[in-house]
Amino acid sequence: MTQRLAVRPWRPEDLASYQELSADPNVMAYLGDGKPRTSREAHHSFDRMQASWQTNGFGTLAIEHLDDASFLGLCGLAPVENLSDLDAEVEIGWRLKSEHWGNGYATEACAAVIDWAFSGDVNIELSQLFAIVQVSNRSSIRVAERLGMQRERRTIVPGHQRWVDVFQIDAPTWQDRQSS
């Protein structure tokens, strides 16, 4: 929870909003292959996100606005996929409905998730988090930078053939930023 947002576990009634989010070509342009998801593909992804909590002890969360309980998008933690040198690592990711871009919601929600991730309340010990952002996604690059993440390198994601920037932040750096 933040001043403006609830960052909460998924509910079954969130499926339709998640399907709408996943069907938006503007939202999906920078994710995976860049294509919108069908209703069936989004449903499968929704089920996988929920299962991640049982499998990994962490996962993604829904973001809703406290004023009107409207669904804004998602953020959360996931095992890094598609980059073999980061196989055992965890990434933070976010996705917002395009009409909510530019309001600081992604940064606000992700900051709450990073606080939680480094608090010791997660079922695994996390010493660092990564964000993998397509180089053409300037807005998400700015989110990672506002979160204090440092660009480690630029690489191509195998299978998707898209250039990404790999950002990283460790727990001591995050905690220092929060105390200053």
Running along the chain, 180 residues long, what does each successive block of 10 average in pLDDT?
A: 95 96 96 93 95 91 97 96 84 97 97 92 83 96 98 89 94 88
pLDDT score at 144: 98
Going by C-alpha positions, the residue among 39, 45, 33 that lies closest to residue 19 is 39
Give, in degrees to the nearest 5, the angle at Cα 136 between 76 and 7.
15
Is residue 116 classed as helix, strand or coil in its secondary structure? helix
Task: Tell me the CATH architecture of domain 5-179.
Answer: 3-Layer(aba) Sandwich (3.40)
Q: What is the pLDDT of residue 84?
A: 81
Nearest to 75 by CA among 105, 48, 41, 101: 105
- Identify the CA nearest to 111 among candidates 73, 155, 144, 153: 144
Strand 60-65 to 71-79 pairing? antiparallel
Give the residue extent of every domain in the chain: 5-179
pLDDT value for 161: 82
CB 75 within 8 A of CB 113: yes
CA distance 41 to 104: 28
Tell me what pLDDT residue 123 has: 67
